[in-house]
Amino acid sequence: MTGLPSRDRKEAEVCNPLVTAQKRSLRVAARIGPTRHLSRDKALEPFCDTIIDVAIPNVGHGRARAKIAMDAVQLDMVDSTNDEAKRQILRRDIRKPFYVLAREQSAGRGSRGRAWSSPANVGVYLSVVEFPNHSPADSTTAYTLAAGVACAETLRKSTGCSVQLKPVNDLLLCGGKLGGILTETVVQRGAVEAVIVGVGINTHRANRRVQLGALTPVTLEGAMSTERFANLDLNSMVATLILKIHAWCKCVSMRDMDRITRAWQDFAIDGASLPMVRQVRKPRNACSAELSR
């Protein structure tokens, strides 16, 4: 979603003809800068050079600061943010959450092996990587549900659009598909090493390839008024989304599935059945209240 190199960055800085990557330590802590106007040529402004501050309300306890140290892998183009996340996991020694964000994907993927059309500068292409403290082999669906709640909460608050969830991984708006979620795992030596939560969101109108039988794509630009979309702070929206995904995934790690399923049902389309998730015993310390409703 944001945090990407500027389009006017000199070609001499490009280390690879396919991707331009920068990794910086990102501490999510205090103020997000002034609202930036979006344009087709500069839809995604870099935010990783500065400290980002997002206050997330605690449930029943007012507002609280969310401070998370994350590495940011920033790309102009990549085959898939999920695939790049896997490559990063295999070459890294540090095991802490990080995210991959790109302006364009050449081989974006959705569920059931479907292609996800990812033209340059017209969408959010993001993967958030978590290293759970338990084996989530049977909980991939749980992470998808958690990410869906994070997306719905963030998009509704940032845009005012009534985004809904369709089992198990679709983000719907105005009867069309605004985005989707693809959760994958990395397994090493027979154990789950990491969970990758991939998110794609259509922000701007564009000519997107749609496979036969797929829902019609919709965009934030098409759903919002011209004035409101022009003033949308995409940087803030993306920063909040990253925090929300991390926080809701923490609920999965803490085995607080009751909280996740209740929130998911609040955003689900009418008549949607809650996907089956294996219930595991919840520890005494439930997931921290870093979440807002």
Instruction: Determine how β-strand 98-105 pairs with β-strand 68-78.
Output: parallel
Residue 148: phi and psi, rounded to 5, are: -60, -40
pLDDT for the residue numbered 68: 65
Using CA atoms, how far residue 189 sits from 135, 192, 268, in Å, is 13, 8, 37
DSSP 57-125: E-TTS-EEE--EEEEEEEEEEES-HHHHHHHHHHH----S-EEEEEEEESS-B-GGG-B----TTSEEE
Q: Decide if pLDDT at 229 tops 90.
A: yes
pLDDT in tens, 28-42: 332 222 323 333 333
Mean pLDDT of 247-257: 90
The answer to which of 70-74, 138-142, 215-219 has the lowest mean pLDDT is 138-142
Q: How many whole angstroms separate alpha carbon 240 and alpha carbon 158?
A: 9
pLDDT for the residue numbered 102: 93
Residue 210: asked if its preceding bond is cis (omega within 30°), the reply is: no
At which residue do the structure tokens 């059931």 appear? 112
Mean pLDDT of 223-243: 94
| DSSP 8-state symbol, 180 | E
pLDDT for the residue numbered 63: 42
Q: Which of 11-20, 187-196, 221-230, 274-283 has the highest mean pLDDT?
A: 221-230
Higher-scoring residue by pLDDT: 284, 256 = 256
Return the CATH number of the domain spanning residue range 11-267.
3.30.930.10
- Residues 6+ away with beta carbon under 8 Å from 212: none
Q: How many whole angstroms separate alpha carbon 258 and alpha carbon 201?
A: 27
Other beta carbons within 10 angstroms of residue 111's beta carbon come to 14
Q: Decide if pLDDT at 161 tops 90.
A: yes
The band of 287, judged by pLDDT with boundaries at 50, 70 and 90, is low
Strand partners, 115: 109
3-state helix, strand, coil split of the chain in percent (to 5) is 25, 25, 45
Where along the chain do its domains lie?
11-267
The band of 289, judged by pLDDT with boundaries at 50, 70 and 90, is very low
Higher-scoring residue by pLDDT: 58, 206 = 206
The band of 127, judged by pLDDT with boundaries at 50, 70 and 90, is very high
The answer to which of 61-65, 93-97, 259-263 has the lowest mean pLDDT is 61-65
Contacts 24+ apart (CB under 8 A), 268-277: 268/164, 268/165, 268/166, 268/167, 269/164, 269/165, 269/166, 269/172, 272/165, 272/166, 272/167, 273/167, 274/167, 275/141, 275/145, 275/167, 275/168, 276/141, 277/139, 277/141, 277/142, 277/145
Q: How many whole angstroms separate alpha carbon 10 and alpha carbon 59?
A: 46
Q: Decide if pLDDT at 25 tops 60.
A: no
And the tokens for 134?
């338990």
To the nearest whole number, what is the mean pLDDT of the chain? Answer: 75
Q: Decide if pLDDT at 224 tops 90.
A: yes
And the tokens for 229?
């979309």
And the tokens for 106?
């050449």
pLDDT for the residue numbered 118: 84
Nearest CA among 292, 260, 279 for reference residue 168: 260
pLDDT in tens, 47-82: 343 333 444 433 333 344 455 668 888 889 999 999
> In percent, how much of the chain has pLDDT > 90?
46
Mean pLDDT of 166-182: 95
Q: Decide if pLDDT at 157 tops 60.
A: yes
C-alpha neighbours within 13 Å on the C-beta side of residue 145: 28
The answer to which of 72-76, 188-192, 198-202 has the lowest mean pLDDT is 188-192
Cβ-based burial of 14 (10 A; exposed 0-12, middle 13-18, buried ≥19)? middle
